[in-house]
Amino acid sequence: MSSVQDWDKAKSAVAQHRETLTSLADHAEIFGWAKENGFATKSLFPKFKVELNKQLGIDYEARREEAHVLRREQIAAAATDGPLIEIYTAADGQGSFAVCGPDHTIVAYGSFHPEDRVFIEGDQTSADLSAAEFAVFLAGQAREELQVDAVRLRLHVLNHEVSADNPVLDRAAMRFRVALAVEVSDTNAALEWTQEPGYKQWRETNLATLIVDESMAGAEQ
């Protein structure tokens, strides 16, 4: 389907379903409608969002950001008195990563999955981001095991380009209900494990060992 046809299809759909679309409460319901009606595609959805704004004054991106701000605030509030988890990550641009807990113990290491959506071979920052995203996932798994609403994660990384507001980490933190803080240092216990042969799966680790007291968080690694 050509771009012109895509625009016409999006324009027509918004005009035809204006009452339904106007009644939808938030961006999630709008996306659900788009998915159900075949507009949640790489080509059609951007045009659909433009037509929503042009015809109905519905700013999808603004609504989504408002929802995300609220969700972050809710997670932060829930995590205030929740467990504090501390994790150290490292990676290399050739495809290996490592994750350590607060006491130097290796939690997981090995090679990135061939279908990893973040890591780009040869790109150091993407490797560090993927390892950091994995750490957020682990914090989420610990949260589920602890049966708490949210947890705090103090994540130590080596790359100054890795930050908590990076879209990759922001999405992961919201998904797994983790209040994330990132600290950058020149070294950490995970670094040497990126060069070790073999692997260790995270399921071999008792995730409760990642929990720390406030007084020991950030201890020299």
High-pLDDT (> 90) share of the chain, %: 90
| Full set of structural domains in the chain with CATH | 3-58 (no CATH), 82-212 (3.30.420)
pLDDT at 162 over 50: yes
CB crowding 143-169: b at 16 or more within 10 Å, else e: beeeeeebbbbbbbbbbeebebebebb
The mean pLDDT of 156-172, rounded to a whole number, is 96
What is the Cα–Cα distance from 72 to 172, expressed in whole angstroms? 11
pLDDT at 1 over 60: no
- At residue 215, the pLDDT reads 58
What pLDDT digit, counting tens, does each position of 55-106 carry? Answer: 999 999 999 999 999 999 999 999 998 999 999 999 999 999 999 999 989 9
Compare 3 and 34 and report the one with higher pLDDT. Answer: 34
The mean pLDDT of 30-55, rounded to a whole number, is 95
pLDDT at 221 over 50: no
pTM, entire model: 0.82
Q: Taking all residues of the chain, what is their mean pLDDT, rounded to a whole number?
A: 93
- At residue 218, the pLDDT reads 52
Q: How confident is the model at residue 3 (pLDDT cuts 50, 70, 90)?
A: confident
- At residue 186, the pLDDT reads 87
